[in-house]
Structure 1
Amino acid sequence: MKHARLVSQRAWIALCVAAGLACSIFLLSGMPKEGNELAAGGALQTSLRRHQVILRPQPSLTQRSADIPLVIYEQYHDVSCHPHLHTGNLLYRGLNQAAGQLRHTDDVDVPAFFEIGNDAYYQNLLCEFTGILAVANVLSQVHPHRWIGFQSWKATEKQRALTSASEEAILAAIAKPEYADAVFFWANGGVRDHGWGDGIQDFYGQCDSVHIYCSLVYERTFELLFGGRLADAGYRGPPPMPVDGGSFIFMSYFVMRSAALQEYAQLVKAFFVTLDRMYFHAHRDGQFCILAHGKGVPEPEVPAAKEYESLHCYCYLLERLINIWAYHSGRRMLHVNVDTGEITEQHPVEQRDTWRHVFQGEALSRALSAFESELRRRSEASVLWSRLSR
């Protein structure tokens, strides 16, 4: 009987190596748990983690030539999203964020190699940043292009997808040296995005109105993330953002230099880990989200708006974080009209009041390195950082 069970287990392991992560999960839940040392739950999980590289297929380089300057990743999470994605257009590549929903083999399959993408709790809190962080982690493996962009599968449905005119405008602009470190965006929270008139123009005012305590959470998170660096530089409150008539980036509809994505992703990870340190037990155990009061989601679209906001609590901060990073790091912020391709600069660099001592040059890199070093003394936070980084 023991011999038969051992043969069966070896057969399952061989099948898992061929089939990848999905089968390994089945193995964990369905194999016999007695009669063999490997089948003991803890030992088996340890063994699978040790052979993670074998069990999880790594993402591959696209067939697109490295001479193509830009590829935009279209994020999706369900087969029902497939009709909304581009096909046969080398400017776009699919980015699948849910297990078993891959459209075709050229798409990047995040759950196959990004472990935290299979964790339902954190997947709901990261939303589309699961895909952004996953791509940033393996950028040299999947993306040989100088520029990178992201666009949700919802873009076509919401009538905010790039048109041929706006695609051509972006491609022409990124060829010019004056735009070398710019961030292009085409969703600004306006009518097409969320029904907010001409778009988000008061960064903290708008966020506080739809997500209560938004500016306070930004303030607390950056205080914990940067530590004494803020006080040393005389910075107080949340990072200042202008009310100058210009609009801001809304959600993940943007193009930037590929090298810039890695810096941005490091900040996103540090910010997310800090949020988790502050609110993990209140959110996971108490189902309490400090931002949720039901105004951030239209009721007809999501009937239980407050519960929906709580489920995706940190997403609303993450999707706006790019503005703080781009503004304070001195990057040009350029809005692209999706219909005409017209590009207009928002918040001119020379007019900004920035926290340059923590965001510009090597300052941000040093701050994030110090943050990571501090995490090593905090086991739980260090584990989450590691999960976001592999």
Structure 2
Amino acid sequence: VDDRVNGYFFPKENIKVLTQIILQVISNGKLSPLARNIASIGRETVKNLMVQETVEGYAFLLENVLKLPSEVAPLKAVAELPSKLKEEWQWNLFGDFLNFTLEDRSANFLNKLEEQWNHSRREKFGSLIAVDDSFSYEIWEEEKRTHILDTKRRREEQELKDRTDQPRGTWEDVYRNAKKADRMRNDLHERDERELERIGQPLCIYEPYFGEGTWPFLHQNSLYRGIGLSTKGRRPGMDDVDGPSRLQLLNNPYYRDTLGEYGAFFAIANRIDRLHRNAWIGFQSWRATARKASLSGIAETSLLDAIEKRKYGDALYFWVRMDTDPRNNMQRDFWSFCDAINAGKCKLAFSETLKRMYGLGQDFNSLPPMPEGEGTWSVMQSWALPTKSFLEFVMFSRMFVDALDAQMYDEHYQSGHCYLSFSKDKHCYSRVLELLINVWAYHSARRIVYVNPETGAMQEYHKFKDRRGKMWIKWFSFNTLKVMDEDLAEEADSDHPKRRWLWPSTGEVVWQGVLDRERNLRNRQKETRKQKSKDKLERMRHKHRQKALGKYVKPLPEDIEISNSTTVTSV
């Protein structure tokens, strides 16, 4: 707004300036030509006032509030918005709305209702209704006027109510509300019914989530338990797992976004015996529930029954299929689908990661075979495993993610670009990691069983007889992975490398040296406690006891007569 061009400026403390302005804009009881010119210019200015600030602010708000799935293309930067959208309001989009007031909507509704009512009555009573038409119109006209007046009155009352300061209540009310909040808060940390029921179950399915927008897609029965990937946006009154408190890496926004739901695997596996005591563990993405692909009650019962009876033994149960995924309309095979959702670079990323992970030469270009004719694969991180097998999978995943991060971190952290996406992508690794469970389960000789999420019917895919000669058993065996894990743990514990290294931050660092050190520490603490006990007994044995200074004699009561006393009688 420019002073004296499309408006007037005046200090609110100086009334004289305002008086001078009024004298300038009013001449002979009418607006002066100067005032009319300024008003005309100001009208155009006001029509597009605060456009850029509002558009950029709203775009920034959406960018920070919306948490889109990893497969969705990221939002454009605010600077890339067309200049036309930031210079003037798009009033043409609001034309119909501005011309259609509340009174008009009410009148149109009543007119339509009147026409329908009259039409139905004419069909029913014929010409008899014509006599009452004038009377009906008068009633409806009065009803419309009454309705419009009531609408205006309610609107004015609502506006006045919003402008009026609400009473805060007395101190007694504040104290009473505070006491009520304290009672409602679970200060005693008592176990709720869901937690008690979960203890006796063979399976617990964790649902990773981030933000309040995912709450409607999370389950609340005892079979499921949420795990929040952030300290914010936690569900009130639920015994959800706090992911960042179990794994400090999730406090880093970069890795929380990059790993996505995979960070929940590392958080649960870190000192798992303190949290998860069930024989089996499962995960289900909230996106599966949003797509109506989550387990039904019948499927849950079927899965629990198969686990309790050990129908398939050490198996991977999954219930979201790759061949029905909306991203796989072309019905691609495993590696082609992985390429399709990772900018055509999935196979390259896998190959380079395996080279770095196993220390192979640059001439190695093979990929673990993933045959397609024997069945489909799991997507969207919705599966169940024995807890022991899950820990083995996490051990493999930690090394894989570390090798993947080592080759992508620098470019992705600095520019936001990685070759697994065509544009800037905060969830760079998540789509590759989404399919990693299939590679590990197939080549570590786990049975792969599909559970129909609606009926609970089960079907085993990729049977062992069809895998002969195709599995990389030596690469994915527990002994191989355990040796690699201990080598990394020894390096992290002994050498303390100064380079940026992700692996130690993804879980526990355990090798034989750590176990020996902990055992020696326990032995020293035990010896210290024994020595303290001996010293205490020795002090008690040689404790100096002071002799008594005298002997206390209890006096006789006054009301008891002494037997040797005599009575003197006067004569």
Q: State the TM-score bracket (shorter-chain normalisation).
A: 0.7 to 0.9
Separation (CA, whole Å) in 1 of partners of 2:393 and 2:213: 30
Question: In structure 1, what is the equivalent of residue 18 of structure 2?
Answer: none
Among 327, 331, 348, the alignment partner of 2:463 is 348
Separation (CA, whole Å) in 2 of partners of 1:281 and 1:311: 14
Separation (CA, whole Å) in 2 of partners of 1:105 and 1:90: 11
Q: Secondary structure at the match of 2:460?
A: strand
Query: CA offsets, 1:7-45, max 9 Å, x none?
Result: xxxxxxxxxxxxxxxxxxxxxxxxxxxxxxxxxxxxxxx
Q: How does 1:200-239 map to 2 (within 5 A)?
A: 202-211=333-342, 212-228=344-360, 237-239=366-368
Code of the residue aligned with 1:337 in structure 2: it is: N
Contact 1:225 1:371 in 2 (8 A): no
Query: CA offsets, 1:292-331, max 9 Å, x none?
Result: 12xxxxxxxxxxxx33xx2211111111111111000000
Separation (CA, whole Å) in 1 of partners of 2:268 and 2:245: 12
Among 198, 204, 216, the alignment partner of 1:71 is 204
1:360 has 2:474 as partner: no
Query: CA offsets, 1:197-255, max 9 Å, x none?
Result: 496x6111111233121111101101110124x99xx9851222112241111121000
Question: In structure 2, what is the equivalent of residue 327 of structure 1?
Answer: 442
Structure 1 pair 180–245 and aligned structure 2 pair: CA distance change class (3 A): closer
Q: Sequence identity, in percent?
A: 32
The worse-fitting range, judged by mean Cα deviation, of 211-220 and 168-177 is 168-177
Code of the residue aligned with 1:132 in structure 2: it is: F
Among 121, 130, 133, the alignment partner of 2:266 is 133
Cα deviation, residue 91, structure 1? 0.8
Separation (CA, whole Å) in 2 of partners of 1:83 and 1:150: 17
Contact 2:323 2:376 in 1 (8 A): no
Cα deviation, residue 130, structure 1? 1.3
Q: Secondary structure at the match of 1:90?
A: coil
Structure 1 pair 373–354 and aligned structure 2 pair: CA distance change class (3 A): farther
1:316 has 2:452 as partner: no
Separation (CA, whole Å) in 1 of partners of 2:389 and 2:249: 23
Q: TM-score by structure 2 length?
A: 0.51
Separation (CA, whole Å) in 1 of partners of 2:320 and 2:278: 23
Separation (CA, whole Å) in 1 of partners of 2:292 and 2:376: 18
1:166 has 2:299 as partner: yes
Among 363, 382, 385, the alignment partner of 1:253 is 382
Q: Secondary structure at the match of 1:131?
A: helix
Among 391, 394, 397, the alignment partner of 1:265 is 394
Code of the residue aligned with 1:354 in structure 2: it is: M
Contact 1:282 1:288 in 2 (8 A): yes
Code of the residue aligned with 2:417 in structure 1: it is: F
Structure 1 pair 361–83 and aligned structure 2 pair: CA distance change class (3 A): closer
Determine which structure has more spread, i.e. the larger CA radius of gyration. Answer: 2
Among 506, 511, 532, the alignment partner of 1:388 is 506
Structure 1 pair 80–213 and aligned structure 2 pair: CA distance change class (3 A): closer
Question: In structure 1, what is the equivalent of residue 244 of structure 2?
Answer: 111
Separation (CA, whole Å) in 1 of partners of 2:212 and 2:341: 31
Contact 1:117 1:123 in 2 (8 A): yes
Cα deviation, residue 65, structure 1? 4.9
Question: In structure 2, what is the equivalent of residue 99 of structure 1?
Answer: 231
Query: CA offsets, 1:321-364, max 9 Å, x none?
Result: 11111000000111111111111111112221111112124222
Q: Secondary structure at the match of 2:208?
A: strand
Question: In structure 2, what is the equivalent of residue 282 of structure 1?
Answer: 411
Question: In structure 1, what is the equivalent of residue 129 of structure 2?
Answer: none
Cα deviation, residue 386, structure 1? 2.1
Separation (CA, whole Å) in 2 of partners of 1:203 and 1:157: 24
Structure 1 pair 196–119 and aligned structure 2 pair: CA distance change class (3 A): same
Cα deviation, residue 189, structure 1? 2.8
Separation (CA, whole Å) in 2 of partners of 1:154 and 1:68: 25
Question: In structure 2, what is the equivalent of residue 121 of structure 1?
Answer: 254
Separation (CA, whole Å) in 2 of partners of 1:111 and 1:368: 23
Separation (CA, whole Å) in 1 of partners of 2:496 and 2:482: 20
Code of the residue aligned with 1:208 in structure 2: it is: D
Question: In structure 2, what is the equivalent of residue 40 of structure 1?
Answer: none
The worse-fitting range, judged by mean Cα deviation, of 373-382 and 172-181 is 373-382
Q: Secondary structure at the match of 2:455?
A: coil
Q: Secondary structure at the match of 1:187?
A: coil
Q: Secondary structure at the match of 2:219?
A: coil
Compare relative contact order (CA 8 Å, sep 6+) and give the higher one, 1 or 2: 1
Structure 1 pair 82–288 and aligned structure 2 pair: CA distance change class (3 A): closer
Question: In structure 2, what is the equivalent of residue 292 of structure 1?
Answer: 421
Q: How does 1:50-69 map to 2 (within 5 A)?
A: 62-69=195-202
Structure 1 pair 225–83 and aligned structure 2 pair: CA distance change class (3 A): same
Structure 1 pair 196–356 and aligned structure 2 pair: CA distance change class (3 A): same
Give the count of matched residue pairs. 310
Cα deviation, residue 288, structure 1? 2.5
Q: TM-score by structure 1 length?
A: 0.74
Structure 1 pair 156–210 and aligned structure 2 pair: CA distance change class (3 A): closer
Separation (CA, whole Å) in 2 of partners of 1:333 and 1:208: 23
Structure 1 pair 188–358 and aligned structure 2 pair: CA distance change class (3 A): same
Question: In structure 2, what is the equivalent of residue 156 of structure 1?
Answer: 289
Contact 2:198 2:222 in 1 (8 A): no
Separation (CA, whole Å) in 2 of partners of 1:65 and 1:196: 36
Q: Could you list the runs of 4 or more consecutive aligned residues of structure 1 that deviate by over 6 angstroms after TM superposition?
A: none
Q: Secondary structure at the match of 1:357?
A: helix
Question: In structure 2, what is the equivalent of residue 14 of structure 1?
Answer: none
Q: How does 1:27-46 map to 2 (within 5 A)?
A: none
Contact 1:180 1:257 in 2 (8 A): no
Separation (CA, whole Å) in 1 of partners of 2:330 and 2:313: 28
Separation (CA, whole Å) in 2 of partners of 1:371 and 1:237: 24
Contact 2:198 2:204 in 1 (8 A): no
Question: In structure 2, what is the equivalent of residue 18 of structure 1?
Answer: none
Contact 1:273 1:381 in 2 (8 A): no
